[in-house]
Amino acid sequence: MRTAVLVEPTEFELQDRERPTPGPDDVLVAIRDVGICGSDIHYYEHGRIGDYVVEEPLVLGHESAGEVVEVGENVSGLEAGDRVALEPGVPCRRCGHCKRGEYHLCESVEFMATPPHDGAFAEYVSWPADFAYRLPETVSTVEGALCEPLSVGLHAAQRGNVGTGDTVLVTGAGPIGLTVAEAVRAAGATDVLITDVVPEKLAFARERGVDRAIDVRETDLATAVDEYTDGVGADVVVEASGAEPSIRSTLEGVRRGGTVVLVGLSEEAEVPFDVLEVIDNEIDVHGSFRYANTYPAAIDLLADGVVDVEGMVDFRSSLEDVDDAFDRAMEPTVIKGMISLDDA
Ligand SMILES: NC(=O)c1ccc[n+]([C@@H]2O[C@H](COP(=O)([O-])OP(=O)(O)OC[C@H]3O[C@@H](n4cnc5c(N)ncnc54)[C@H](O)[C@@H]3O)[C@@H](O)[C@H]2O)c1
Ligand SMILES: C[C@@H](O)[C@H](N)C(=O)O
């Protein structure tokens, strides 16, 4: 089968690999669509993300969906021909975190395209059936693949306990900020403000219906939020840029007694944060890491037309053009590129 393998930073090689054989609890999936995520780009450019280092050739891609072509003997509920979204992180299912349902915190999670685990830029992937979710007819495999970033948004909204009538400030209008915006709307937020430093990203967010798009290069964030909220501040701020100034600015946007959710990963592990402000204003600060139990909700929201992810896609490219696709995906105005494979 065809695979695109990262052999060195900035160097993909198209390799012919043996088609995997599904184990008894697995499904073999002919991959149709795979999103290019910021972490794929980071591995492509730098060969590492923090302690995760690409030491052996690695198949990238963890936002994927495709068609089941074979099922293992223990699998029920899925059959050949079903289209599925693949949840990319598979936990041990036995530890305390798994048993509590917070399986994304399992220390033994094997996550696609995170060294040493291969991802989905491949014709076929064999995957545990309980992490493969059937797509209804009305949900495309592009949408199925983008259940992954949508899940990051849904989890962030849950971490922020976003509720009906809330005003939410999202910092960063990349794919994650945009899925957060979709998720908080679905959770009942009535006012969504978003920031960025790229005018095209802000214009796009505006087209998608955010109530206020703030260019923080030109506009003081605290003033803009105060104006919008009559000096109160946002109920919830979700940081989705990873930019240090933006992380610090979350405290300028949140109301007293409000919640800050940190999703964006800073290049620096330590970012100065005014703890006196946090205490004095009784701010709840939550980390948000990946997601758990979000795929069924993501698929239902897409099937019901409550959220949109397909509109974020700027281009679809082929496995053979993966180098060109990554070059395009790195352009600052591009939101989402996809690698799409022919029908298997
Ligand atoms: N916690 C998690 O589980 C999780 C999951 C996926 C991604 N992430 C992280 O979330 C962040 C966002 O991911 P993405 O794929 O959307 O990244 P991205 O780089 O595509 O988008 C980030 C956006 O932030 C904007 N930005 C830069 N500086 C800014 C500033 N000072 N203020 C406001 N906006 C600013 C950029 O212009 C860009 O549009 C990244 O740090 C990524 O690593 C975290
Ligand atoms: C969650 C996922 O989108 C992220 N890129 C990760 O590897 O953690």
> Is the predicted ipTM greater than 0.95, yes or no?
yes
CATH 3.40.50.720 domain position(s) in the chain: 151-287
Confidence of residue 343 (pLDDT cuts 50, 70, 90): low
pLDDT on residue 89? 98
The single-letter code of the amino acid at 112 is M
Mean pLDDT of 251-264: 98
The overall average pLDDT reported for the chain is: 97
CB of 104 closer than 6 angstroms to any ligand 1 atom:
no
CA 170 distance to own-chain centroid: 15
Structure tokens at 3: 């695979």
What's the rounded Cα separation, in Å, for the pair 107 and 131?
A: 17
Mutational pocket test of ligand 2: of 34, 36, 37, 54, the residue with most ligand atoms within 8 Å of the beta carbon: 37
Tokens of 276: 């006196």
| DSSP-based three-state secondary structure for 157 | helix
Which ligand 1 atom sits nearest the alpha carbon of residue 287? 1
Give percent above pLDDT 90 in the chain: 97
**Mean pLDDT across 28-32:** 98
The better pLDDT of the pair 273, 292 is held by: 292
What pLDDT is stored for residue 342 in this prediction? 79
Please answer whether residues 135 and 65 qualify as being in contact, where contact means their C-beta atoms are separated by less than 8 angstroms: yes
Burial of 154 (0-12, 13-18, 19+ CB in 10 A): buried
Q: What kind of fold does domain 2-146+309-340 have according to CATH?
A: Quinone Oxidoreductase; Chain A, domain 1 (3.90.180)
What Cα–Cα distance (Å) separates residue 19 from each residue in 22, 58, 275, 323?
10, 16, 53, 23
pLDDT at 22: 98
pLDDT at position 344, please?
40
Whose Cα sits closest to atom 8 in ligand 2?
Answer: 290
Average pLDDT over residues 320-343: 95
d(CA 217, CA 260): 21
CA torsion through residues 42, 312, 248, 163, sign:
negative
Residue ranges of the chain that CATH labels 3.90.180.10 = 2-146+309-340
Q: Which of 62, 102, 176 to mutate to test the pocket of ligand 1 (most atoms within 8 A of CB)?
A: 176
| Contact between residue 258 and residue 163 where contact means Cβ atoms under 8 Å apart | no
CATH class of 151-287: alpha beta
Q: What are the pLDDT digits (tens) for 223-235? A: 999 999 999 999 9
Residue 122 phi, psi (nearest 5): -155, 155
What's the CA gap between 36 and 44, in Å, rounded?
A: 11
